[in-house]
A and B are shown apart, each in its own frame.
Chain A
Amino acid sequence: MRLTVNGTEHEVDVEPDMPLLWVLRDELNITGPKYGCGIAQCGACTVHVDGLAVRACQLAVGDLADGAVTTIEGLAQPDSLHVVQQAWIDHQVAQCGYCQSGQIMQAAAFLDLNPEPTDEEIDAAMSAILCRCGTYPRIRAAVHAAAAKLQEG
């Protein structure tokens, strides 16, 4: 089976019902996407498939078709971080950091679709991703900052 992750094509030999998350982590050693719950509750496994935020624990690799996968490792440009990553660093968001790949991938895809979000829209979109350390106040601030930055161009 073939799949494209962060622009690189890979060949894996797994059952088609294996979730993408476990292909990435245990077959390809791409470990930015995390296992937290396996049941679409925590969002720690969030990646982009064709630019949309997807819970990798829920997507069977066999259903990926030609979808191009981007993980947190592939979000930045070669010589600069993604606006969302930079906002996260500026706001010192992460504590343990385990949820943050998912938070950042969710925020990046969300701002792509909705570059001028309201507070309520940010709350709704980012509530999909659980953070047990409670970094939410800074996530809120960082998403706002990233949105402002994107509007500057």
Chain B
Amino acid sequence: MASVGKIARRTFLIGSAAIAGGVAFGAYMVNRPIANPLLEDLAEGEAAITPFVKITRDGVTLITPRADKGQGSYSIQAYLIAEELDMDPKDTIRDPGLPGPAYYNAEVMAEGSPLPAYDDSATAETIRSVLRVVPKLFALQMTGGSSTVPDMYEKLRHAGAVARETLKQAAANRTGTPRSALRTEDGHVITADGTAIAYTELAAEAAALEPITDVTLRDPKDWRYLGKPGLTRIDMEPKCTGAEKYGIDLAFDGMLFASICANPGIGGALERYDASAAETMPGVRKIMAVKAGNAGVAVIATNTWYAIQAVNAIDCTWVAPAYPASSAEIFDALEAAVDDPETLDHRQRDEGDVEAALAEGAVFEAQYRIPYLAHAPMEPMNAIVRVTDARVDIWTGTQIPLFIKTRAAAMSGMEAERVFVHVQPMGGSFGHKLEMTHVEQAVEIALSMKGTPIKLTWSREEDMTHDYPRPASVMHGRGKVKDGKVDTFDISVSQSAMAPGWFGRLSGLTIPGPDATITTGSWDQPFAIPNYRVTGYRAPDMVPVSSWRSVGASGNGFYHDTFLDELIHQAGADPLEERLRLCMHAPSRKVLETVGALSNWDGPSMGENRGRGVAFCMSFGVPTAQVIEVTNTELGIRLDKAYIVADIGRVLDPRNVEAQLFGGLIYALSHAINSELTYEDYGPVQTNYHAYEGLRLYQTPQIEVQVLEEMPGIRGVGEPGVPPAAPALGNAIFAATGQRIREMPFNKHIDFV
């Protein structure tokens, strides 16, 4: 196995995937080290010891390639490097870097694993390690799937350590002392006699050295930043002073402002348009039809507001897209597909004998549905593009910079090396910025106005109507109880496929095989029920859909846990006790026990008109339980308290973890209570926040969060707070009122304060 060790060392910097999984793969591409992109444009005297650390005479730059959409990824990536580099990240320059293969995300496909996350057997780990290699082969530089921390945890600390040791070697050479006699502190190498040499002073000498890659990572008990309760986000102050610049805030000399109206029927063409009224409006410079992305008409003006006003004055005639026109027709198609053997997509869970169990005696049945949902982050889609004969530059907040680079190269006929994607901080995403229609439109406009930077901003209305929403779906459940226990649990979910359409839009490639997202969050739960089956059915492609915070689990967590709650009540058991009895995964049981203790659980009833609900969902490898307490008042349901317990393995930034968990709960409740996209005439009826209400402060319950660290490894936490919230609320409403709600949003069935 000597070769494994050697390959390991050689590839660790960028190919740590092979090591993290404990397997070194023989394939050439897999083990071939990927070139360090920072080496390409270094000036004399600058060192880029790894793809993540660049040192010049003027400063130390930390490259944080995973995009920040609010979840704190820039901050935690900087701390991961800084912990080993011995430098306060606040004293460094942070840069997301230009997208390149060295920054591929090994963990992003983990949630698509055919093994449930609670399975930590050797086979499961081997399969996961294979899944880590695929993104490398495709150079999948992507932010998503709560994967930033798991993917970067080793890579970035290792990069910091390599940089530190190489700088020490440079100092050792200079001073003629062995490297082992030197130490580092706050951006300096300290020699035996106490002299401090700044890293920046050593840049030129370090650049001439082979990086020292034989390093040992520090024991977490020696950490100075990571895991400390007082750790603060490095982007906090600029976000509180207005200094933070998002993509939508950038400006360049000579820039013009564009807005667009595209066919609300996504994929449908533009038949004709009449812009005569718009042409003479103030500030308008140009009006043009756009074909890329979604077909539409763009106005280029001297101010975004002029552009939006002129867009609104254009009369467009659209060609219908290839999907049903209304929500009614769409739900008919979803209902038709469920339990139809012809549309069977996958059945990853089938234990006991469900058919036999359901063949005799009384069967409990229930039908559920969830709507399409917009992501609706606060910052609407925007991109700045400048095309010249020499290059294409794109400034935008995005989770998928490499797909954008490839597409812009194809559109412009420019080599990919001449396309530069400058990733900007995002004002939220929730999965919205895993798409690039707006960038394609901006590139097409900029190609027709070479030399002029074009900032395309979607109006909120355009953003809502051209989102690729969370899929709508329906679920049919059947179950039985026996001797006061849940005995048979069988659910069938029907949904249009999500992943293939999305990947096809971005890459032009097709993904064969089943679409796991139809049942992620339901088939993979850590429960042992005697007869237990989860089946996914594939409805026809309809409105093109995409990933929405927590992806499949956003709806399947609701289906699985609510239906389980129904059966538990049928059995006459206590909702928390019975979940604990059925749960066969120790960390998940601990999570449930802890939420019980935190909420002083003593049954679902809390007196007249009051009730509490518990819900559990394991998503992205994180077992998460929530309890919500409600009161049924004369004005409607009031949310009093919420409790969240999650086990994410090792916690790196405690305050941000807490914020992500309660933020996930609030995001989920916003939609569980208030929001849906309904379709008429091929487009959504809800076009702005007045019709798509998020939770407001006055509706937000008091929230308590407790985080456990018993799971092995380390997990991301941007998404796992979402799935249990809707079922916990629904279960609480049942406890308080006896009314079971099986469709989101709940305000279609009950009033809220």
Contact = CB atoms under 8 A, between A and B. Distances in A.
A59 to B, nearest CB: 13
Contacts of A39: 460, 688-690
A19, A25, A93, A126: residue with the most chain B Cβ atoms closer than 10 Å: A25
B148 to A, nearest CB: 14
Contacts of B459: 38
A72 B241 contact: yes
B242 A32 contact: yes
Interface string A62-94: 000000000111011000010001001100111
A72 B242 contact: yes
B703 interface: yes
A32 B377 CA distance: 17
Nearest to B705: A137
A29 interface: yes
Contacts of A123: 697-698
B558 interface: no
Interface stretch (B64-72, B272-280, B525-533): B64-72
Contacts, number: 183
A130 B304 contact: no
Contacts of A112: none
Contact of B427 (A22, A26, A34): A34
A100 B70 CA distance: 12
Interface string B302-314: 1111101000000
B305 A22 contact: yes
B556 interface: no
A114 interface: no
Given A19-B305, A140-B697, A98 B428 contact: yes
Nearest to A99: B378
Given A14-B303, A96-B379, A134-B667, A37 B688 contact: yes
Contacts of A150: none
Interface string B271-290: 00000000000110000000
Nearest to B282: A15
Contacts of A140: 697, 700
B376 interface: yes
B166 interface: no
Interface string A101-124: 100100000000000000000111
A31 B667 CA distance: 26
Interface residues of B, number: 67
Given A19-B305, A39-B690, A97 B244 contact: yes
A111 to B, nearest CB: 15
B426 interface: yes
A18 interface: yes
Nearest to B376: A132
B233 A92 contact: yes
A134 B71 contact: no
Nearest to B427: A98
A84 to B, nearest CB: 9
B397 to A, nearest CB: 10
B700 A137 contact: yes
Interface string B580-617: 00000000000000000000000000000000000000
B697 A127 contact: yes
A96 B72 CA distance: 8
Interface string B224-257: 0000000011011111111111101101000001
A137 B662 contact: yes
Interface in A134-153: 134-140
Interface in B366-382: 376-380
A27, A75, A95: residue with the most chain B Cβ atoms closer than 10 Å: A95
Contact of A126 (B71, B283, B697): B697
Nearest to A41: B689
B663 A135 contact: yes
Contact of A26 (B282, B304, B698): B304
Nearest to B700: A136
Interface string A1-42: 000000000000011001101100111010111111111011
A133 B662 CA distance: 9
B655 interface: yes
Contacts of B308: 38
Contacts of A130: 378, 689, 694, 696
B242 A71 contact: yes
Contacts of B282: 15
B656 interface: yes
A41 B690 contact: yes
Nearest to B718: A95
Interface string B652-691: 0001100110111111001000000000000000001110
A44 interface: yes
B457 interface: yes
A36 B662 contact: no
A96 B428 contact: yes
A137 B660 CA distance: 12
Given A35-B457, A97-B235, A137-B700, A27 B428 contact: no
A100 B378 CA distance: 11
Given A36-B460, A104-B240, A133 B70 contact: yes
Nearest to B426: A96
A23 B656 CA distance: 35
Contact of B237 (A38, A89, A122, A139): A89
A132 B698 contact: no
B700 to A, nearest CB: 4
A73 B697 contact: no
B250 to A, nearest CB: 8
B548 interface: no
A14 B203 CA distance: 50
B241 A76 contact: yes
A45 to B, nearest CB: 11
A37 B689 CA distance: 7
B656 A92 contact: yes
Given A97-B427, A98-B379, A81 B305 contact: no
Contacts of B656: 92
B412 to A, nearest CB: 26
B430 interface: yes
Contacts of B39: none
Contacts of B235: 94, 97
A29 to B, nearest CB: 5
Contact of B239 (A29, A35, A100, A124): A100
B54 to A, nearest CB: 26
A97 B249 contact: no
Contacts of A124: 698
B664 A31 contact: no
A133 B688 contact: no
A130 B302 CA distance: 29
B695 interface: yes
A127 B689 CA distance: 14
A35 B704 CA distance: 32
B304 A101 contact: no
Contacts of A75: 241-242
A56 to B, nearest CB: 11
B99 to A, nearest CB: 21
A93 B697 CA distance: 14
A92 B696 contact: no
Contacts of B376: 132
Given A22-B305, A134-B666, 16 more contacts: A25-B304, A26-B257, A35-B380, A36-B379, A36-B380, A37-B460, A81-B240, A85-B240, A92-B236, A95-B70, A97-B70, A97-B244, A127-B696, A131-B378, A136-B696, A137-B703
11 contacts: A26-B304, A31-B249, A35-B304, A41-B688, A73-B241, A92-B233, A92-B656, A94-B236, A96-B428, A100-B239, A135-B663
Interface of A: 14-15, 18-19, 21-22, 25-27, 29, 31-39, 41-42, 44, 71-73, 75-76, 81, 85, 88-89, 92-101, 104, 122-124, 126-127, 130-140
5 tightest A-B contacts by CB?
Answer: A96-B70, A32-B242, A98-B427, A134-B666, A97-B239
